Amino acid sequence: MADYKKEYEAVIVKREMLNDDTAYITVKCPDIANSAMPGQFVNISCSKFLKRPFGIADVDTVNGTFNIGVKVVGKGTKEIAAFDEGKVVTVLGPLGNGFDFEALRGKKLILVAGGTGVFPIHFASSYCKANNIEYKLVQGFRNASQVIMSDDDVILTTDAGDAGIHGNCCNGLDTIDEEFVKEAVLCCVGPLPMMRACGNWATSKGIKSFVSMEQRMACGVGICLVCVCKVKAEANGEEFKHVRCCKEGPVFPFEEVIW
């Protein structure tokens, strides 16, 4: 198959296992590496009927590669997490709207990650480093054995309390200096209850927040309308409207989402 606009044949150049069920994969695709923004995702082919969506975890524009994290949740992700180096896959991307760094210019960032949200948030933190944006990073995991993509600068929390702060992401957020918080915007990717709690935390501090919504997807490019997120309707008399996670999202302002 030839390359089309936004649809590429790409090679898996590296794969490492971060823990028993999570792989970190490097894919060679200069067009995606050069144009992707944090919060965007790619769709990757496997032997199943539909492609699988993954948040972009990092890019290397020098080598023309991007990274994804693959947690095994079903047969498709099991297969992708085991892809050999050298395997050629079909990739669509970059897809969706990520975090709007243009609109966030001049702000400090509070990045919060839970579950597989550590991957897109990792891209956001490396983007901040590369562009001299001040940020704090909070990660939440169930227990110490689940901790991945972490380092000494991270405000680490675990539900079990066997690593970092004992508690959830909000307990981690509470440790951030008030002065920093006042000038910050919060960007959060993780399970729904965690994103909701973090969004409410931001609202209680009087700052804006953005969340990355997830829903079962088919096409990933906005044509099938299956991956909808319920958001507040504009003033047209409707109670809500369905928007596409893959096209209008996955990143939405927290206050627009109906939880």
Name the site residues for another protein (rule: CB under 8 A). 1, 4-7, 48-51, 90, 92, 215-219, 221-228, 230, 238, 240-242, 247
DSSP per-residue codes, 188-225: EES-HHHHHHHHHHHHHTT--EEEE-----SSSSSSS-
- When the beta carbons of 170 and 228 are compared against another protein, the nearer one is 228
- When the beta carbons of 87 and 241 are compared against another protein, the nearer one is 241
Residue 101 CA to residue 73 CA, distance in Å, equals 31
- When the beta carbons of 103 and 226 are compared against another protein, the nearer one is 226
Nearest alpha-carbon partner for 247 in 121, 41, 95: 95
Q: How far is the CB of 74 from another protein (least distance, A)?
A: 9
56: its two tokens: 């972009």
Q: How far is the CB of 11 from another protein (least distance, A)?
A: 19
Q: How far is the CB of 235 from another protein (least distance, A)?
A: 14
- When the beta carbons of 87 and 247 are compared against another protein, the nearer one is 247
Q: How far is the CB of 57 from another protein (least distance, A)?
A: 24
14: its two tokens: 């590296």
Q: Which own/partner contact pairs does 164-168 have at CB distance under 8 Å and 24+ positions apart?
A: 164/139, 168/140, 168/194, 168/197
Between β-strands 251-253 and 209-212, what pairing exists: parallel, antiparallel or unpaired?
antiparallel
Residue the block writes with tokens 């702060």: 165
Q: How far is the CB of 240 from another protein (least distance, A)?
A: 7
- When the beta carbons of 50 and 104 are compared against another protein, the nearer one is 50
Between β-strands 184-189 and 108-114, what pairing exists: parallel, antiparallel or unpaired?
parallel
